[in-house]
């Protein structure tokens, strides 16, 4: 069993964004025009046509702030700690293969689970200085954490970190990868773009059933493959604290309301 100190980034607010009232808009086009009129670094537009089910759109929303858990905060960063203009975790930890990987959740609202297990995988490797390469199972977290929310209908990263600390998670790679104890069982698909894979369904697939056993052919048992976190901590809304922790310990998880 592996124990590791992990980080959880609670909802972070950008300084200044809360200083003025949020304008209201009667139509989506008004909102798009407003955003594009700000001259930011990106351009707003419509990602879905009018036929897209409203229930499917709701599943893409943020995490309700009422579920935010008040975790212990990290100590303030030493003012002398230098934060560079840029930082690339792939370059900082080139031996950690998981840092470079972006997993495909398929037609399932499991972003909450994927964000957590990918950060866990990265931090295990970073803490071990590249000696332990493991892909923590998104399937295991998605299917078995009853307190995390609604599986493929959406969930809460804060609860996911607690589950990892208290119950543990096994290993598991991408769909059809035969990597780890419980690889992802939901097929990959193209998300709103054309490509070599089938387009993702508009409706989410059912959440997989929880299983406490490993795939056939896995060299090990479910219990022995469990990985645990030693503690979970959060941050205030000070960006320097988040930046410093990423530089020291690796990727974090953020949510927005």
What per-residue confidence (pLDDT) applies to 63?
A: 62
pTM of the entire predicted model: 0.78
- pLDDT at residue 21 is higher than 80: no
Mean confidence (pLDDT) of the chain: 86
What value does the mean pLDDT take over residues 27-32?
88
Q: Are 149 and 155 in contact (CB under 8 A)?
A: yes
Tens digit of pLDDT for each residue in 208-230? 999 999 999 999 999 999 999 99
Report the range of poorest mean pLDDT among 130-144, 199-213, 216-230. Answer: 199-213
Start-to-end CA distance of the chain, whole Å, equals: 34
Residue 185 backbone zone (phi > 0: left; psi -120 to 50: alpha; other: beta) = alpha
Tens digit of pLDDT for each residue in 36-79? 999 999 999 987 777 777 777 766 665 655 555 666 777 778 88
- pLDDT at residue 132 is higher than 80: yes
CATH class, 2-13+56-249 region: alpha beta
Cα distances (angstroms) measured from residue 123 to each of 9, 112, 186: 14, 17, 25
For residue 66, the SS3 value is helix
Cα separation of 256 and 237, whole Å? 12
CA nearest neighbour of 252 among 18, 15, 239: 239
CA nearest neighbour of 119 among 105, 136, 133, 106: 136
Cα separation of 146 and 113, whole Å? 12
For residue 149, the SS3 value is strand
């Amino acid at each position: 069993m592996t124990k590791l100190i992990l980080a959880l980034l609670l909802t972070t607010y950008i300084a200044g964004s809360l200083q003025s009232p949020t304008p209201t808009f009667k139509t989506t086009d008004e909102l798009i025009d407003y955003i594009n009129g700000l001259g930011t670094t990106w351009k707003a537009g419509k990602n879905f046509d009018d036929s897209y089910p409203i229930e499917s759109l709701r599943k893409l929303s943020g995490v309700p702030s009422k579920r935010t858990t008040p975790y212990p905060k990290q100590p303030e960063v030493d003012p002398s700690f230098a934060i560079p203009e840029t930082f690339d975790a792939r370059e900082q930890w080139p031996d950690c293969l998981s840092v470079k990987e972006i997993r495909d959740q398929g037609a399932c609202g499991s972003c909450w689970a994927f964000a957590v297990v990918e950060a866990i995988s990265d931090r295990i490797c970073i803490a071990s200085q590249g000696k332990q390469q493991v892909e923590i199972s998104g399937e295991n977290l998605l299917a078995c954490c009853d307190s995390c929310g609604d599986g493929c209908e959406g969930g809460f990263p804060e609860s996911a970190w607690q589950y990892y600390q208290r119950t543990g998670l096994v290993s598991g790679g991408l769909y059809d990868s035969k990597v780890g104890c419980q690889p992802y069982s939901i097929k990959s698909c193209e998300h709103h773009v054309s490509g070599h894979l089938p387009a993702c369904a508009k409706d989410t697939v059912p959440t997989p059933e929880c299983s406490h056993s490993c795939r056939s052919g896995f060299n090990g048992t479910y219990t022995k493959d469990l990985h645990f976190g030693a503690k979970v901590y959060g941050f205030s809304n000070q960006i320097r604290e988040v930046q410093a922790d990423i530089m020291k310990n690796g990727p974090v998880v953020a949510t927005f309301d």
